[in-house]
Structure 1
Amino acid sequence: MTRALVFPGQGAQAIGMGKALAETYPEAKAVFDEVDDALGEKLSAMIWEGDAETLTLTQNAQPALMATSLAAMRALEVEGFGLDQAAFVAGHSLGEYSALAAAGALTVADTARLLRTRGLAMQQAVPVGVGAMAALLGLDFETVKEVALEAAAEGEVVQAANDNDPGQVVVSGHKAAVERACEIAKAKGAKRAVLLPVSAPFHCVLMEPAAKVMAEALEAVEILTPKVPLVANVRAAAVTDSAEIRALLVEQVMGSVRWRESVTYMAANGVTEIFEVGAGKALSGMIRRIEKSITCSAVGAPADIEKLKS
């Protein structure tokens, strides 16, 4: 079997995530300690004992999800399921940073600080209540692009932001335009159109201020050649060049997450097994809908690793 490792994005966070890993594996606990030190606060306490509302804040959720993913990665390595067995890494939105840290391109400390900066910049790019995102179910990406064009009014933005799987595309932009897109999508046969509980419209041109912040932040950190190729969100193809990765991470702030195409690319390049490393199982569900030939395992707790060993 040819394996890939994928890392979840925002929305997968949950109070208590990673705690059992940290209690079972000293190597996993060390990741949370390193993130706490890098941020100068006890993010681990917020993750394990805090309230969901605070954890869901973008500037907290992003480094918290990365910490949980890297803790799970360290536990996998201890049990003999390391990076040396993977053909590719990939991540959904912020998960791309987790993937790069797992592949040795970024340090854990730099990744934590970058994601704190990214979360704050994305939140501050658009005033709360001005933007929105919605999941359109039952339409393909090309149809949703047409919906977005039709829904965009003078001076208002709405774009197809996440191509998640064959029947789920997320749109992002000004709230009124996103709401119009939901109505147009239903008229075009969408099964459902659901506004998402997010505080900012990610992956659209309204994030331009955040992209500028990230360009500056990324220039200040060292990015090494990843030990395993990264299947980049905005390229849906493998990249290894550090300068190219840096540019794509900036582009990713405003660009579409081409997840469906990324999974198809990995399958076309021989991947038959994927581990979803970190919190939740959302990516595994998407992958199964995209490529039935790929087997998926969500790895976020010691019990998940025990299943792999059996």
Structure 2
Amino acid sequence: MTRAFTFPGQGSQAVGMGRELAEAFASAREVFGEVDDALGQNLSKLMWEGPQEDLTLTENAQPAIMAVSLAVIRTLEKEGSFVLSDKAAFVAGHSLGEYSALAAAGSFTIADTARLLKRRGQAMQRAVPVGEGAMAALLGLEFDQAAEVASEAAQGEVCAAANDNGGGQVVVSGARKAVERAIEIAKTKGAKRSMLLPVSAPFHCSLMQPAADEMAEALGGVDLKSPSVPLVANVTASRVADPATIRDLLVKQVTGMVRWRESVLYMEAEGVSSFVEVGAGKALSGMVKRIAKEPEILSVGTPGDVEAFLKTI
């Protein structure tokens, strides 16, 4: 069986995330400690105790979601002699999850990944003043239809498809008024439901260019090794292993669309039949189920999940 390991993005955060892992495994506690030390912040306390509104802040949610994913990977390695490169054909992550995937595959250290994601979150928040941008989910429209809706709604402002999540779920991003127009237009095009998302900035559109420029600088100062497992990149929906190319794609990813549907189809075409979501929540598992044909889907985020998964390998 050919497996791909996937890593979730923003929206998967919840108060209490990772606490059971830390209580059950010293290896997980080590990871949370490394992240806290790298950031000079007691992020693990915020993850476990809240408040939710602080955890949801982009600069906190991004490193927190990564920390849980890497705590799972470290625990699999320590508890079951798990070696990612022996078990995975590909790694892939949704938006910030791409950093988690690369850290899992040894491209970044956990400390560098935490600092990069903290800065990424801050840069994305700074790029557009609060209230001026928005994102909306258009449900029940295929990608081409949603892209047409975004184009029609733009009217000289920015409005573009940001996440192609598959199964008739496309997220658009841009100037708030343009995104609000997209919601209304989508209703006339047959969308089952369209709604604004509770995010603080319009991710994955051209309004994020200042954040992309900042991440180019940040990534330029960090050691980036070739991953032990090829990455299926958000921007290209195809494999990449060259460090210079990965660095370039991580910069482009800030303004570029997350091509998740195409990424899953690419991995399936390459022989992947089992998708393992690593970390908090099961959002990616739901997406994969809508995209791939009869995939095996596993989620590994709790001590029980870890123990069950180790019995399968």
Equivalence for 1:116: 118
Q: In the alignment, residue 93 of structure 1 is paired with which amino acid? A: S
Query: 1:73 touches 1:82 (CA, 8 Å); kept in 2?
Result: no
Is the CA contact (8 Å cut-off) linking 1:210 and 1:253 kept in structure 2? yes
Equivalent position of 1:40 in the other structure: 40
Deviation at 1:80, TM superposition (A): 4.2
* 1:107-152, Cα deviation, whole Å (9 max, x unpaired): 0000000000000000010000000000000111111111111000
SS at match of 2:228: coil
Match of 1:228, as an amino acid? V
2:83 matched residue in structure 1:
82
Letter in 2 for 1:145: A
What letter is aligned with 1:68? V
Q: Report SS of the residue matched to 2:163.
A: strand
- Whichever residue aligns with residue 237 of structure 1, its letter is S
| Alignment correspondent of 1:59 | 59
Aligned counterpart, 2:28: 28
Deviations 1:229-263 (A, max 9, x none): 00000010000000000000000000000000000
TM-score of the pair, normalised by structure 1: 0.98
The match for 1:142 is 144
- In structure 2, the partner of 1:214 is 215
Aligned to 2:127: 125
SS in structure 1 at match of 2:89: strand
CA distance in 1, matches of 2:88, 2:307: 19
1:204 alignment counterpart: 205
Q: Per-residue CA shift, 1:76-118, capped at 9, x if unaligned?
A: 2222443021110000000000000000000000000000000
2:102 pairs with one of 100, 103, 112: 100
Structure 1 gap segments, 5+ residues each:
none
Cα offset, 1:20, TM superposition: 1.0
Aligned counterparts of 1:127 and 1:70: Cα–Cα separation in 2: 32
TM-score, scaled to structure 2: 0.97
Cα distance in 1, alignment partners of residues 16 and 293 from structure 2 = 31
Q: Which structure 2 residues correspond to residues 160-175 of structure 1 after superposition, within 5 A?
A: 160-175=161-176
Equivalent-residue separation in structure 1 for 2:80 and 2:141 (angstroms): 41
The 3-state SS of whatever aligns with 1:251 is: helix
Secondary structure at 1:276's aligned position in 2?
strand
How many residues align? The count is: 309
SS at match of 1:248: helix
Cα deviations by residue, 1:146-184 (Å, 9 ceiling, x for unpaired): 111100012x11000000013100000001100101111
Identity %: 67
Q: Distance in 2 between matches of 1:23 and 1:271?
A: 33
| CA root-mean-square deviation | 0.9
Once residues 266 and 108 of structure 1 are traced to their aligned partners in structure 2, the CA distance between those partners, rounded to angstroms, is: 26
Mapped partners of 2:75, 2:275: distance in 1: 16
Structure 1 letter corresponding to 2:31: V
Moved more, 94-103 or 182-191: 182-191
Q: Distance in 2 between matches of 1:282 and 1:16?
A: 17
1:10-21 aligned within 5 A: 10-21=10-21
For 1:184, the aligned partner's letter is I
1:180 partnered with 2:181 = yes
The equivalent residue for 1:49 is: 49
Q: Is the 8 A contact 1:94 1:115 kept in 2?
A: yes
